[in-house]
Amino acid sequence: MASVTDFHQISPSNLYDYSIDPTMGGTHGKQWVLLAAGSRGWTNYRHQANVCHAYQMVHRRGIPDEQIVVMMYDDIADSEKNPNPGEIINEPSGPNVYPGVLKDYTEDDVSAHNFLAVLRGDEAGVNKQTEGSRKVLKSDGNDTIFVYLSDHGGKGVFAFPRDCLYASDLICTINEMAEHQQFSKMVIYMESCCSGSLMEYLPKTTQVYGVSASNPHECHCACFYDEDRETFLAGEFTSCWLLHCSMSDLTRTTFQDQFLYLRQKVTQSTPCQYGNNELSKLMISEFLCPPDSTSRSELAVSAKPLKLTQLTPSTEVSLTIQKNRIQRETNPEKKRALQSEYDKLLQTRRSIEKTVLDIAHRACPDRGLRALSERRPLTRLEDMKDVAEHFKRTFTEWYVEQDDAFVLSQMHVLVSLIEAGVEVTRIKEAITHVHSERIP
């Protein structure tokens, strides 16, 4: 799949004339930013590149480093596959976005557990495997929080290298933070497949607003395939979001202005709003520009023409990368080895599909096939976590191989079984049984 979207500068402010409630105006508290890339590996280059670019944007806007937390595996800048060691780019021929990026949480410290601990300011709850401080958001009731996440996702789940973030845990953490007055307002941007399914239960009566790259059922797309690096540089949603920030005066641009821009420019998935939409009337500067910044309005620049190219569903990225490697390889022996790797990828995917089908049949013979095609709303969040965690522990090898996008794309089948009323114990028994039959 390959398609192109043109970026053209539009007037970012005054798209709508909002009357802002004075009680929602800027506070004199701190602005906290949490940026997290949930993946590792060269194939997933784009997620860490997204976060590096996002860091450069908020740092340039004047948010001090002590109020920014960055979580990324940090294995691509110096990867042997990087033709330009020490460099990470997020768009074709773009600037190096790696220099100066914070290394608060790297390698195995990048986890859903630590993400939630950082978000709620729980320094004691951080599980640190490497040296370094246990940096968390030390926010209070006067402060704003901006959160951005980028990685693979599925129905009710967002991937991290060693564990998963579930909708139930995200919503529970935010509710607890609101109850303990740990922020005045919070905004969450999430780029992943089915990202809407993690945010559709954000409380509408709390000062939390979320924007997802896709609705609860959709795949999200990667973009900018780089021939030299043999990987994708960015995600469609993030490219649009960061471009809009770069060409906007954030003191005169609301989150609603930006959302309307995203709905117009993101063509391969459907950005959605969740939580308290009243917060979309706020100026973005309330979260991403310190009030004492003298140059924040001058940072708005005219964006150069940019095209989103090679738009490819996340579930197809690893296959597309491997196909391109095969096509470029001229050495017959190496070409055969690459083809063998591609065939193994396809075989694994067929095995995953058959396994999920077998689980559905065993758990509920009457609706096994229907569960494959149904896209039921996720309402039983805790049950989903219970079943998905059992599936992950049982089929660990599929997650270790880092083809998370395809594995997570099958989570809707488990959701369909749960929402159809199949008992959790029965689904878990089916998972265990089907796995036991796969062992030689």
- Separation of CA 86 from chain center: 24
Which has the closest alpha carbon to 73: 99, 101, 37?
Answer: 37
First CA to last CA distance, the chain: 37
- Residue 291 CB neighbour total at 10 angstroms: 14
Assess whether 304 and 334 both reside in one domain: no
**pLDDT tens-digit readout, 45-56:** 999 999 999 999
* H-assigned helices in 309-423: 317-328, 332-363, 368-373, 381-394, 396-400, 404-409, 411-419
Residue bearing the bigger pLDDT, 257 or 420? 257
Predicted confidence (pLDDT) at residue 293 exceeds the cutoff of 60: no
244 catalytically annotated: no
The stretch 156-172 carries a mean pLDDT of 95
Query: Could you tell me the maximum CA-CA distance found in the chain, to the nearest angstrom?
Result: 69
Which has the closest alpha carbon to 274: 193, 191, 199, 190?
Answer: 199
Q: What global pTM score does this model have?
A: 0.90
Question: Would you say residue 318 lies in a domain?
Answer: no
Query: Which pLDDT score, from 0 to 100, does residue 305 have?
Result: 61
> Is 402 in contact with 187 (CB distance < 8 Å)?
no
Query: Which pLDDT score, from 0 to 100, does residue 227 have?
Result: 95
Question: Would you say residue 323 lies in a domain?
Answer: no
The stretch 212-239 carries a mean pLDDT of 96
Catalytic residue among 193, 194, 245, 364: 193
Query: Which pLDDT score, from 0 to 100, does residue 17 have?
Result: 29
CA distances from 398 to 292, 351, 392, 401 (A): 49, 10, 8, 5
| CATH code, domain with 273 | 3.40.50.1460
Place 362 in a pLDDT band, splitting at 50, 70 and 90. very high
Predicted confidence (pLDDT) at residue 304 exceeds the cutoff of 70: no
Give the pairing type, strands 157-159 and 164-166: antiparallel
Catalytic residue among 47, 52, 53, 152: 152
The stretch 124-128 carries a mean pLDDT of 94
Q: How many domains does the chain have?
A: 2
SS (H, E, C) 49-105: HHHHHHHHHHHHCCCCHHHEEEECCCCCCCCCCCCCCCCCCCCCCCCCCCCCCCCCE
Q: What percent of the chain has pLDDT over 70?
A: 87
Assess whether 305 and 342 both reside in one domain: no
Predicted confidence (pLDDT) at residue 185 exceeds the cutoff of 90: yes
Question: Would you say residue 432 lies in a domain?
Answer: yes
289 catalytically annotated: no
Place 375 in a pLDDT band, splitting at 50, 70 and 90. confident
- 393 lies in which domain range? 329-438
Q: What percent of the chain has pLDDT over 90?
A: 79
Assess whether 189 and 294 both reside in one domain: yes
Please list, in sequence order, all residues whose beta carbon lies within 8 angstroms of the beta carbon of residue 334, skipping any fewer than 6 positions away: none
The stretch 131-146 carries a mean pLDDT of 94
Alpha carbon distance 204, 377 (integer Å): 18
**pLDDT tens-digit readout, 263-273:** 999 999 999 99
Question: Would you say residue 127 lies in a domain?
Answer: yes
